[in-house]
């Protein structure tokens, strides 16, 4: 059985630990399609398995919080990340401290 790209993305996303984040591009790279960051964003937007697949832990490469569809959107995403111990600098995740190594 072949695993689809979307299934690979969700599987990798489930491995991001609390207190860490991954970027859309990082997930695309780990799943074997380094130029598919936008597709990863689409998958996060339509995630059917939240919170088991923690799409709130996926951010842009500069740490900016981008679209989030639950409750109050980005406000909720930031609240969830802060509750998990993710450090911020202003409105952005401190990527240097919070980026998951992505070792799978």
Q: Which residues are catalytic?
A: 55
Neighbours of 69 (CB within 10 A): 13
How do strand 58-59 and strand 22-23 relate by DSSP bridges?
A: parallel
Contact 43, 29 (CB under 8 A): no
Following DSSP, what letter does each residue of 32-66 receive, concatenated?
Answer: T-TT-HHHHHHHHHT-TTTTTS-GGGEE-TTS---
Residue 99 pairs in a beta bridge with 21
């Amino acid at each position: 059985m072949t695993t689809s790209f979307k299934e690979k993305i969700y599987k990798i996303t489930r491995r991001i630990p609390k207190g860490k984040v991954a970027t859309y591009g990082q997930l695309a790279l780990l799943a074997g399609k380094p130029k598919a960051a936008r597709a990863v964003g689409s998958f996060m937007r339509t995630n059917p398995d939240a919170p088991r697949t923690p799409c709130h832990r996926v951010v842009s490469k500069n740490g900016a919080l981008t679209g989030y569809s639950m409750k109050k959107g980005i406000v909720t995403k930031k609240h969830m990340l802060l509750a998990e111990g993710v450090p911020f600098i202003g409105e952005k995740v401190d990527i240097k401290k919070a980026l998951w190594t992505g070792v799978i």
